[in-house]
Structure 1
Amino acid sequence: MSWPTAHTALVEVADRVLGSPAPVLILGVDETRRGKPRWEHDASIGKWRRWHSGFCDLSGDQGLLGQVLGGPAAT
């Protein structure tokens, strides 16, 4: 079974069982790392960087809501 097939099946079951998430009253945004860091070379400034922005529920118990590549002000 391929990863996309397994992931699609998991998401369908999770959506049914968990339902919609509760509203987030206080959203935390920070550059965080989960797992092994993946460093990227930014040729425009000649430096190695690792940017991931995490979004978490600070007022409730939903924890990490998502994580995306990016983090500097330009992103």
Structure 2
Amino acid sequence: MPAPSPKFARDPALMALGDAIRLLRKARGISQEELAHRSHVDRSYMSAVERGVQNPGIMIVVAIARAIGVSVAQLAAEAGL
């Protein structure tokens, strides 16, 4: 399991981003493991992102958005960011 990002763990913005990723992933019928694979990250890292305890870098966010089939702007809008 990756170490959480302690400075921002459970920040409302990260929680909203994780919720949006989970919602969009499930709406498309993609498992967390498959999304992690498509995004080139470990499944445990993806879990931490979805739970809002990991602060992903912009390129990881880009990879996740692409893997879900949305733009980063759409993902941010879904998260209310």
State the TM-score, normalizing by the size of structure 2: 0.23
Judging by fraction of residues, say which structure has more strand. 1
Instruction: Kindly indicate whether structure 1 or structure 2 has the higher relative contact order, using CA contacts under 8 Å at least 6 residues apart.
Output: 2
Judging by fraction of residues, say which structure has more helix. 2
Mark the structure with the bigger radius of gyration.
1
State the TM-score, normalizing by the size of structure 1: 0.24
